Amino acid sequence: MDTSHATTFRSLGANSSSSSSLPSSDSFVFDGNHSDIARQLYIRHKAGDTGHGYLLRSVPDVVKARLKPLHIDFRDLPGLVQRAVLWDSGFAVAPGNVTVQIWPIGNRTMADIAVTMDEVHYVDCKVLNCTQPNNLNASYSNICTGYQMGNTSHCVADSFVDKGAAAYLGNMWARGGDPDVVPEIELRDHVWSEDIPQFGGDTRFSVYVVHTVLSSKEVTWGNCPVKGKYGAVTIPCTRRDQYTDEYMAANTTTPTGSAWVTAWLNEEFARDDSSNSVVLVLIILTVIVIVGVGWFGWRRRSKFLAKRSGNISENVTGGEDVPRPTIVTSSLELQSFSISSPTYDSPGSNKTLKILLGSIHLQGKRIPYDNIVFETALSKGSSGEVWICQYNGEKVAAKRLLQAKTQKAEKVQTFAEEIELSASLIHPNIIEFLGVAWNNLSNLVMVLEFLPTGNLQTYLENNVDTLSWARHKIHIAIGVAKALKYLHTFTPPLIHRDIKSCNILLTDLLEPKIIDFGISRGRVDLTMTGGVGTPYWTAPEILEGKHYTEQADIYSFGVLLSELDTGKIPYHDALTEDGTKMKPFKILHEVMSGTLRPSFSDVCPLRIQQISSACLAPDPLSRPTAQELLQDLEGKDTDSEKCMRSEVARAQFHAKCSKY
């Protein structure tokens, strides 16, 4: 273990009762001054609350051994009780429903590993205080290094993998919360880097943290909960891989479970062997009865169907083309409109209002601003942010400009144009526009459908090994191609300009939907301007500042195919001649010169690689159109037809064409 910046343990030696008597709720408050999660879960269970259960990768052996004498199957316990047993036995649950062992430091138990406010102040961490509905403060760590937070910790957590750690913006420590909360035991990895000169510059931190509110619902770092909402309790732990076995044996305790939790389990959930036998007999008899009734019903239905004549056929019709509206802006004068909310008194505000109040695509689409409840920040960029919100009892996504800065009228107008464009697009593979809201023009919100599966990039990172080209990836690729065909058939064609995996959301059926039309435009005389997409996905003609067309999207699609295949960002494996990782500037230089292309796996179908190669042609005229791309992916062309179409423009198919 490296001791140059070692975490020092300061055990306060709090004692916990070993009594087997069940606890009461008298004077008990779950506010972060302790970590008695099991007791809070017991109280909420007795109050009639319920919660989700766990489909664990595996139930820890110590939990099985604890439940075995009581003849309890962990899977049969209510969700709240599952959490209580896991926590009391020394476990939290990491992403992927993986249980992770936690060791309290010193003589502590799982009920007293919380970090107090005094301990946070002791290591000079800065704290953000927020008001709660009960007029008590919720407090969050705001400015604090991993070393400082490690020095407050009273627990060590075993190593685990959190694939979403890099994008997670939760709080390492928090105190407060709803006194009636049903706590979670979610363990997350907080990963970040800081430039700290005294530690040698760029320093990477990783702190394990137990969250009692799901990370998807918890307020993000640096923010207070919305008005009327409570804070949460979070508990930092250090990583097991930082310490030797000898150090762990001398300084930590392995939880064995408290007597009162065992008494609770025995009183409410224990079964004896005789009752198990009776249950087994009843199950067998029930199965016999169900099978008998089912067989009798099947026989009657078979006789009935045998007497019927004729066949019932079912026609399923459909088409990929969706009616697309013409993008126009109403010429109605602003004087014929009025709004009750404050106006935006800046140059350009009239143009913004003309879009919001005059566009035919936004008529009937305004949502009362107060009906939107902002819950969780999903992402934040240089000028905008996306939130998960509640609207009319449903989860929605809301995009708005950053609230922390004064927005220029031009920015607001550009956002209004993006809103109008999004409202005009109607296609199953484009995110659905739900409405627009504002209480003043600098507080403009676009409301979109919410897809909890998330974006394609994250999904590939977590699931690429379970996806195949035959069943999943080709379906996603075809969906994106259909959306491009739709966009490119506008007059003039609409160019997305930022096609990449993180701008594609997935439904629960893995249907892709393109998002982020903030830099999209119609094809006029376009050259390189601010707002063009991400460089690794960007066509060479754009990088070189040349005129470009909708074929730039086709190039980006070719890069996207490599992401679909490998599950990694493009050029992740690009190396220099001496074997070192290629720098981004060098990558872009090689791309612009046509000497570097994204790689594919050995198992990628040759047809997909050929399609990508065509899309990545340096000459935009040599790339397939969106219509041709879709036909290639769907395999609707014969090889001879494909060769006839490609003979001049797509040299990469020459070998195949030579047969005709």
pLDDT digits (tens, 9 = 90+) for 347-356: 346 788 889 9
% of residues, the chain, pLDDT over 90: 47
Which segment, 13-17, 293-297, 334-338, 629-633, is predicted with the most confidence on average? 629-633
Cβ proximity of 614 and 608 under 8 Å: no
Q: What is the pLDDT of residue 345?
A: 41
Average pLDDT score, the chain: 81
Cis peptide upstream of residue 570 (ω within 30 degrees of 0)? no
Which residue matches tokens 């609770």? 264
Model-wide pTM > 0.85: no
Query: Is the Cβ–Cβ distance between 218 and 171 less than 8 Å?
Result: yes
Residue ranges matching CATH 3.30.200.20 in the chain = 334-449
Distance CA 325, CA 334 (A): 23
Integer Cα distance of 424 and 419 in angstroms: 9
Q: Contact 230/138 with Cβ under 8 angstroms?
A: yes
Residue type, 256: T
Report pLDDT for 526.
44
Confidence band (pLDDT; 50, 70, 90) for 35? very high
Residue 517: predicted pLDDT: 81
Query: What is the C-alpha separation between 227 and 208, in angstroms, rounded?
Result: 29
- Lowest-confidence segment of 154-163, 256-265, 537-546 by average pLDDT: 537-546
pLDDT score of 401 more than 50 = yes
pLDDT exceeds cutoff 80 at 333: no
Using pLDDT thresholds of 50, 70 and 90, give the confidence band for residue 300.
low
Q: Where are the beta strands (DSSP E) in 144-200?
A: 155-157, 174-175, 186-196
* Sign, Cα dihedral of 110, 113, 116, 118: positive
* Residue ranges matching CATH 1.10.510.10 in the chain: 456-657
Least confident of 50-64, 432-446, 620-634, 642-656: 642-656
User: How does residue 651 score in pLDDT terms, banded at 50, 70 and 90?
Assistant: very low
- Return the pLDDT at 440: 83
Structure token digits, residue 422: 């999004």
334-449 CATH pick, 3.30.200.20, 3.40.50.2300, 3.90.1150.10, 3.40.1170.60: 3.30.200.20
CATH of domain 456-657: 1.10.510.10
Beta bridge partners of 391: 394
pLDDT of the residue at 67: 95
pLDDT at position 6 = 40
In whole angstroms, how far apart are CA 134 and each of 118, 129, 171, 184, 212?
22, 14, 21, 21, 19
Does the pLDDT at position 634 exceed 70? yes
